[in-house]
Structure 1
Amino acid sequence: MQTAAPPADEVFEPAPVGSVALNYAEETPNEYQLLDIAVNVFEVELHASESEQFGEWIFSEIRENEAHYLPYLMKETLLRSNQWGAVRVLPENDPSVDLQVKAKVKASNGKRILVHIEAIDSTGRVWLDQEYLDLASEDDFPDRVRITPGQPFDPEEFVEPFQDIYNAISNSLVKFRSALTEQELVDLKRVSEMIYARDLAPESFDDNLRQDSSNLLTVVSLPAKDDPMLKRVEDMQTRHHLFIDTVDEYYRSLYEQMRPSYAVWRKYSFDQINEDTKAAKEQYDFQNYGQSGSYLTLTQRYDRYRWSKIFELEYREISAGFNNEVGPAILELNKSVHGLSGTMEEQYIQWKRILRQLFSLEAEIPN
């Protein structure tokens, strides 16, 4: 029996994750399970409806800011699970880590967040390639979001309204790791080491890796432990880790500076969506106005319409204010790290190029 194809514009979404408890490791996992993870700066989608309703410049900037803020929430959750090794937020793929986590934010407001997650390890094995959806309710937001000198934002009391989605993603990664054998995880770490070595000196380490029948990278041979070239690679990797720790620290600073204003904006977004929903339900039908009940009903509906417009204007001002609030933090993020220049993404690329050049120069110096 054939079934009709769904309409081209029909969008299928996953079921909401619901309430999700984080899979926390009471005891530190074995060394071979402590994979190093890089969470990339997120990609974002800007929907035309947002641009048309509130202005493209406002929401494109909010989405851009979210791209730097949300990955740190993911990183914090992964660390809190006590399941992994080093976890860092980085501007792009890093050759020194075991597992790369990428995300595209397909929808994000005070009411819902929809993200597509892709997690791939250094061998090329896909851990995750799926969408996650989380919905917020009134109970997910704090009673008070207005921040004043007398009532400052308290990060210790604030609970992320969409924490369930990050818990669900973290749990999915743990579940996938548990399906891998000890040898597969050991081999994965070896591949990571050789990938970084090959990234620095492809002419020296390219033959140490090959793809197997499943198109996964595998180590063909390992250099001797006292290999001077490998020792240089290890020295360079130590320097590289110091650099990416600094980069991650910049993202942490941005996250902390954005957190109060982002919490306010998201609560206003939640209220605005609820207001729009109520207004739509109470839309006045002019053809049946004689059956609407009374003059009181008419005035109530008019008041609802008037207040919805006032709220919409206030929401737009809050959105623009959020962008102005986090603007200095974004500028701080893009300040020079270790004498480099440009955006954080550009500085990261410069750093990798400098490391390769430095490695090449040191390799020419006789022992």
Structure 2
Amino acid sequence: MMRTLLSLFFGMTLLTGCVSETVKSTSVPVLDAPATLTPEAELLDVGVVILDPGISSVEDEEQVYPEVRKAEATFMATELAEVLTEQGGWGAVRVVPDDRQFSDLLVRGTILRSDGEALELKILVSDARGTLWLDKRYQGITSRYAYEQGTRVKQDPFLAVYRMIANDMLAIFNRLPSEDRVTIRQVAEMRFARDFANGAFADYLEEDDKGQISLRRLPAEDDPMLNRVRGLRQRHYVFVDTLQGHYSGFAEDMYSPYQEWRKASYEETVALRELESEAQREMIAGGAAILAGVLAQTSGSRTTRSAGAVGVLGGGALLKRGLEKRAESNIHSLALEELGQSLDAEITPRVIELEDRTVRLTGNVEDQYGQWRELLADIYAAELAALEPPAPPADSLPAAPESRDS
């Protein structure tokens, strides 16, 4: 009996001394470039929507910090837009506040995991016709080497994720016939026109029950209302291009502290995993030692009872150590949350300079964008009111009614 108890005790003690090792690897793919020069009429503009932080879908136990995730959502959208721009296979690539867009291509995403060690994104890419290009999950895993000073100068540790997305998008674009590329651009323009002048352009598009949009017809190139809409769309681009400076500036300011946060988060992720594993082992070992001690206390042998007392004391110490290590994990979590709050405070309202006026918008970027859309509708209504409908051609005028003799 005594031999069995001692074997159990020392076996559990050795278990707590085991060292766990985590090995991760990653590789950054080459960024694919267009094989041939794409005609301007076929270049597709891309809108990258600020990512969904993914806060609502995570479990309470996960180490997710809302302030950090919100900042990451903007940062990662900006990083992806920069990679797409670098690729050189697209028209204008813009970061946009939401999916109320009529870009030729729209990229939406959700952050599934981001802890400095791994980044996992769910990406949806669709064109103006409603055709889904991509619905995939992308994951990148990095190592501590990525965060060492001088290792990588201004290179995101998860560049591989953005490049994989860009390469998949370009591969689909390369398989797309020229006429489809042109159609996507036309549908995007008509969707914008329909949104701001529904009465005039409602009949140009047709949408089926699956959300697929197709062209029924196109207005004449010299249509005055179409020209007004194009002017309005250009003003919209001016506003969104102004936002690019905001997003780029935010990403630039965020880069250095964010990489430090990622480095700390990487270390904490690995440390927390080891602490939780070690704490669990020690608590299991402590529980087993206490159980063995209790059993030994009931033995009739004095020697066995003495060993049982040692087992109870030793088991209690192991349990205490395990609980202390879990408390240490909570301290690390609080420190990261404080850092996340400082990152979230970087976003501030801005005054937008347009070509013909200065627009003062209040609130965050999403609020400002909503106010801008309302302003666009007002601009279009004012211009439409000033636009006299063209006189019909002479040969299309109705004939004067013949007079009748009474």
Query: Aligned partners of 1:228, 1:350: CA distance in 2, in Å?
Result: 26
What are the superposed Cα offsets for residues 152-189 of structure 1, whole Å, 9 maximum, x if unpaired?
xxxx8122111111111111111111221011111111
1:46 correspondence with 2:55 = yes
Partner of 1:8: none
1:342 correspondence with 2:363 = yes
What are the superposed Cα offsets for residues 288-312 of structure 1, whole Å, 9 maximum, x if unpaired?
699xxxxxxxx9xx99997886676
Deviation at 1:316, TM superposition (A): 3.2
Residue 335 of structure 2, aligned match among 277, 300, 317: 317
What are the superposed Cα offsets for residues 120-175 of structure 1, whole Å, 9 maximum, x if unpaired?
11000001112111111223223379xxxxxxxxxx81221111111111111111
Does the 8 Å contact 1:17/1:132 carry over to 2? no
Return the letter of the residue paired with 1:350. Q
Query: For this pair of structures, how many residues does the alignment match?
Result: 328
Partner of 2:40: 31
1:365 correspondence with 2:386 = yes
Does the 8 Å contact 2:47/2:101 carry over to 1? no
Query: Aligned partners of 1:194, 1:360: CA distance in 2, in Å?
Result: 17
Deviation at 1:44, TM superposition (A): 1.8
Query: Aligned partners of 1:185, 1:355: CA distance in 2, in Å?
Result: 27
Return the letter of the residue paired with 2:170. V
Partner of 1:234: 230
Partner of 1:67: 73
Query: Aligned partners of 2:28, 2:340: CA distance in 1, in Å?
Result: 29
Query: Aligned partners of 1:76, 1:50: CA distance in 2, in Å?
Result: 32
Corresponding residue SS for 2:360: coil
Matches within 5 A, 1:185-224: 185-211=181-207, 216-224=212-220
Does the 8 Å contact 1:28/1:82 carry over to 2? no
- CA gap 1:279/1:318 in 2 versus in 1, 3 angstroms: closer
Partner of 1:143: 149
Partner of 1:354: 375
Return the letter of the residue paired with 1:259. Y
Please identify the structure whose Cα radius of gyration is greater: 2
Unaligned ranges ≥5, structure 2? 1-24, 293-316, 353-358, 389-406
1:251 correspondence with 2:247 = yes
- CA gap 1:180/1:304 in 2 versus in 1, 3 angstroms: same
Corresponding residue SS for 2:168: helix
- CA gap 1:315/1:211 in 2 versus in 1, 3 angstroms: closer
Query: Aligned partners of 1:117, 1:53: CA distance in 2, in Å?
Result: 22
Deviation at 1:366, TM superposition (A): 4.0
Deviation at 1:249, TM superposition (A): 1.5
Query: Aligned partners of 1:257, 1:240: CA distance in 2, in Å?
Result: 26
Structure 1 vs Structure 2: percent identity of aligned residues? Answer: 26
Does the 8 Å contact 1:75/1:87 carry over to 2? yes
- CA gap 1:253/1:243 in 2 versus in 1, 3 angstroms: same
Residue 266 of structure 2, aligned match among 263, 270, 287: 270
Return the letter of the residue paired with 2:216. V
Deviation at 1:239, TM superposition (A): 0.9
Deviation at 1:360, TM superposition (A): 1.6
1:112 correspondence with 2:121 = no
What are the superposed Cα offsets for residues 179-225 of structure 1, whole Å, 9 maximum, x if unpaired?
21011111111111111111110100111111369753222221111
Corresponding residue SS for 2:232: helix
Does the 8 Å contact 2:84/2:90 carry over to 1? yes
What are the superposed Cα offsets for residues 285-342 of structure 1, whole Å, 9 maximum, x if unpaired?
233699xxxxxxxx9xx99997886676356324413422551x21x2x334321222
Residue 136 of structure 2, aligned match among 96, 113, 130: 130
Deviation at 1:40, TM superposition (A): 0.6
Does the 8 Å contact 1:261/1:322 carry over to 2? no
After superposing the two structures, state which structure 1 stretch, 181-190 or 344-353, moved more: 344-353
Does the 8 Å contact 1:275/1:308 carry over to 2? no
What are the superposed Cα offsets for residues 78-106 of structure 1, whole Å, 9 maximum, x if unpaired?
11111111111111124441011000111
What are the superposed Cα offsets for residues 52-111 of structure 1, whole Å, 9 maximum, x if unpaired?
577x8xx11111211221110111111111111111111112444101100011111111
Over the aligned positions, Cα root-mean-square deviation in angstroms equals 3.2
Query: Aligned partners of 1:49, 1:226: CA distance in 2, in Å?
Result: 53
Does the 8 Å contact 2:47/2:103 carry over to 1? yes
TM score, norm. by length of structure 2: 0.72
Query: Aligned partners of 2:154, 2:176: CA distance in 1, in Å?
Result: 36
- CA gap 1:268/1:51 in 2 versus in 1, 3 angstroms: farther
- CA gap 1:196/1:271 in 2 versus in 1, 3 angstroms: same
Does the 8 Å contact 1:107/1:114 carry over to 2? yes
